Amino acid sequence: MRVIGMRVFIIDTSNMAPELQGGLIGVEGSSTPGAAEKHECIETVSTYVMDGWAIAADPSTPIGWLAALTAKTACVPFVNLTRIALDVITPRTSDG
C-alpha cells in the first residue's frame, strides 16, 4: 500500500488504559516523505502532544519515527503499531 502525504487518525480511547484517556492519534505517511511532509508531521504531532494526546505510529517508517521522536520528547505515551501488529500475527502465550 502506498500512502501519499501524511494522514492522521483520531482513535477512540474510551475503553483503553488511563494514560490514553487524554486522546490518541494515529499517524502514517509516505515511504519517502519530502521536507514538507516531515514538517507537517512534526507540527501536527506537536499540536496534539501539547494537549496531552498519546501518539500511535509505526516507528520503522520515516513519518512514524518522527512521530515517535516527537511524542517521546514531549513525554506523552507512544503506541508502537509495529509491536501491536506482531502480537496480532504471533500472539504471546502464558506458557511460552
Query: Could you read off the pLDDT of 10-45 as tens digits, one per residue?
Result: 887 878 788 777 888 999 988 899 999 999 989 999
Number of domains in the chain: 1
In terms of residue numbers, what domain contains 45? 7-89
Q: Can you give the pLDDT at residue 92?
A: 54
80 falls within a domain? yes
27 falls within a domain? yes
Q: Can you give the pLDDT at residue 35?
A: 92
29 falls within a domain? yes
The DSSP symbol for 12 reads: -
31 falls within a domain? yes
- Reply yes or no on whether the pLDDT at 84 is more than 70: no
2 falls within a domain? no
Residues 48, 27 contacting (CB under 8 angstroms):
no
The pTM of the full predicted model, rounded to 2 decimals, is 0.74
C-alpha–C-alpha distance, residues 62 and 67, integer Å: 9
Q: Residue 90: pLDDT band by 50, 70, 90 thresholds?
A: low
